[in-house]
Structure 1
Amino acid sequence: MSLTKSQLNAQHCRDFVSTIHTAPYDTIDPAVVNLHSPFVVCIIGGRGAAGGGLARAYARAGASGLILAARTRTALEQTAKEARSISPSAKVIVSECDITSESQVKSLVDTVKSEFNGRLDVVIVNSGYSGPIIPDVVQESPDDYRNAFDVNLMGLFYAAHHLLPLLVATNSVARSLIAINSMAAPTVSGPLAHAHYCVSKAAQARLIEMINEQYSDRGIFCASVHPGGMRSDFSKDAPEWLFKLGAFCTWLSSPTNSERRRQVLNGRFLSCKWDVTELEARFDEIIEKDLLRFRIAVE
């Protein structure tokens, strides 16, 4: 079967480095990440396998404070319990928050101020929405379009709009805004190319690029991170596998030896499956060719 140019581009993006990891590995082990103290992380979408993996990774890396936000408090409490069991000294706060509600996202500002004196080192937007995979715009539901853009794009905008000022004001070399994106973002054809999800995720990645342009000179690092593949990621091994997403994000936002990393990767589209040593070996090429960004080719 021949592949379209879009499918080839998406495959090249998935295989940007030779070694693709499907489990945690020593180089990004959160236990060896040296997070300074205090270190406060807000995870919007802090429930489920991915949210739990993120929370456990930052707890293991030594974050002193975690804010876990999502629509369902009971699920958040389970994630919080896991984080506290890993790091009993960490202050873990749960907050009911629908990312499509600006007022609820704004309320996280009050939580950061009241619980952590306004300190905020890292914000991770992990919320996402996808309806049924129907690669036909006539057959796709208008409601799925609205929901996808409300969650995937407007949710990131609300988080950036209200939480970036706290990141800017925090005295930290690790200040980061990370959006959990998808390899669907560069995809426009094939059986998984359902437009409401692919287009909203592409728009989300583009917003990250623009935030980078506007805030990198104020010390803010931002990135879009692909969490992994499709169905196989939700097998019985998903919790361990998705822990690697958290491990990659702790590596990405670590304040240790991060100046070059932040300079090169700021605003770019990344995959948590890429081997980070091989990724670092391509840093000069990434800068020279301006890779891992969305752009229109004009010849």
Structure 2
Amino acid sequence: MSSTKSQLNAQHCRDFVSTLHTTPYDAINPAAVNLPSPFVVCIIGGRGAAGGGLARAYARAGASGLILAARTRTALEETAKEVRSINPSSKVIVSECDITSESHVKSLAETVKTEFNGRLDVVIVNSGYSGPMITDVVQESPEDYRNAFDVNTIGVFYAAHHLLPLLVATNSAAMSFIAINSMAAPTVSGPFAHAHYCVSKAAQARLIEMINEQYSAKGIFCSSVHPGGMRSDFLRGAPEWLFKLLVDSPDLVGAFCLWLTSPINSERRRQVLNGRFLSCKWDVVELEARFDEILEKDLLRFRLAVE
């Protein structure tokens, strides 16, 4: 595939619907959602911009339990304090967890069993790694390439391996496994095409497709979600031209993921979007209008074109 065609495909993915949002809007307003109780959500990467946005959305919707996991406990406590102020009745647990360590992720699963009697309705893997944006594999750091796969791909596998059984055992109407991905996944050329990040995110999206194939019959919903462009520690040190483009609210990805995983009026949404690559920026009403087309053409999946 030529660079021009790949750039067009990435652009078409970004603009899959006409209306793109930067902040939450009425159709995905967390305050308008009343989650059933009990309802337990585990957010791996539950700190920083996106992690805070995700936690706030589920707290506003009345989640009875939240597990916030990340490597740094201090930052998690800040998010937990904010969540408790939004929803004082929610049980909030913080857990130090390095997603690149299988033993840490296994311990996280044990925490769910201990603190919530094994109940788990939604898992969101928000952990991510990116080094400098160097668009030359000779100049890119092998360490960055290895670290990107450890966090973005292998870590998501660890989360699926140890937490999917808890979702299945809970057998709720929600049962969702979401990976926060990136528009870097379909990108192979241009100023954003740094191999370690783009390739590891594409592999992550493929893993989500495989989880869908293996677990949809057991009631699991899964998806890869682009979180928009937000100013966060993750992009600390980004070039100034890129920083100016980061205008999306962290609350947008939280509201979108809540809409995606809410069990309320969800049958059609889960049927159509299971296993697919989505963007939190897409207007959900316009997205719903394309549901028949998505199924008919099997859109929003990675594929190898063979003529």
1:255 CA displacement: 0.3
SS at match of 2:223: strand
Q: Does the alignment pair 1:35 with 2:19?
A: no
| 8 Å contact from structure 1 (residues 44, 70) kept in 2 | yes
Counterpart CA distance in 2 for 1:34 and 1:10 is 36
| Unmatched runs of 5 consecutive residues or more in structure 2 | 232-240
Identity of aligned residues (%): 85
**2:261 maps to 1:256:** no
The alpha carbon displacement at 1:34 in A equals 2.6
* Pairwise CA distance, 1:14: 0.3
- Go from structure 1 to structure 2 and tell me whether the alpha carbon gap of 1:230 and 1:298 turns closer, same or farther (over 3 Å shift): farther
Amino acid of the residue matched to residue 167 of structure 1? L
2:292 is aligned with 1:284: yes
Which structure 2 residues correspond to residues 132-281 of structure 1 after superposition, within 5 A?
132-229=132-229, 241-281=249-289
* Residues in 1 aligned to 2:6 and 2:229: alpha-carbon distance in whole angstroms: 17
CA shift, 1:142, in A, is: 0.4
Asked whether the 8 Å contact 1:102–1:158 carries over to 2, the reply is yes
CA contact (8 A) 1:52 1:79 kept: yes
Q: Which residue of 1 aligns with 2:101?
A: 101
1:297 aligns with 2:305: yes
The answer to whether the 8 Å contact 2:230/2:250 transfers is no
**Root-mean-square deviation (Å):** 1.7
- Structure 1: gaps spanning 5 or more residues: none
Map Cα deviations across residues 150-198 of structure 1 (whole Å, 9 max, x no partner).
0000110000000000000003110000000000000001111000000
Map of 2:14 onto structure 1: 14
Contact 1:34–1:254 (8 Å) recurs in 2: no
For 2:90 and 2:252, the matched residues in 1 are separated by: 21
Q: CA deviation at 1:35?
A: 1.1
Give the conservation status (yes or no) of the 8 Å contact 2:227–2:281. Answer: yes
2:236 corresponds to = none
In structure 2, relative to structure 1, the CA distance for the partners of 1:206 and 1:149 (3 Å cut) is same
Q: Alpha-carbon deviation of 1:298?
A: 1.3
Give the Cα–Cα distance (whole angstroms) in 2 for the partners of residues 246 and 234 of structure 1.
21
Shift of 1:229: 2.9
Contact 2:42–2:120 under 8 Å retained in 1: yes
State the distance in 2 between where 1:155 and 1:116 align: 23
Deviation of 1:4 after TM superposition, in Å, equals 1.3
Instruction: Report the alpha carbon displacement of residue 222 of structure 1 after superposing the two structures with TM.
Output: 0.1
| Contact residue 72 and residue 96 of structure 1 kept, 8 A | yes
- State yes or no: 1:70 paired with 2:78: no
Alignment of structure 1 residues 43-82 onto 2, 5 Å: 43-82=43-82
User: Contact 1:233–1:241 (CA<8 Å) still a contact in 2?
Assistant: no
Residues of 2 paired with 1:230 and 1:15: CA distance? 18
Partner Cα distance (1:264, 1:292) in 2: 10
Q: Is the 8 A contact 2:153 2:203 kept in 1?
A: yes
- Give the deviation of 1:234 after TM superposition: 6.3
Partners of 1:279 and 1:85 lie apart in 2 by 33
**SS of equivalent residue, structure 1 residue 35:** coil
Report the CA distance shift for 1:217/1:125 in structure 2 as closer, same or farther (over 3 A).
same
The one-letter code of the counterpart of 1:4 is: T
C-alpha separation in 1, matches of 2:117 and 2:59: 20
> Would the aligned equivalents of 1:135 and 1:195 in 2 still touch at CA under 8 Å?
yes
Counterparts of 1:121 and 1:30, CA distance in 2: 17
1:219-243, CA deviations, whole angstroms, 9 ceiling, x for partnerless residues?
Answer: 00000000013769967x96x8011
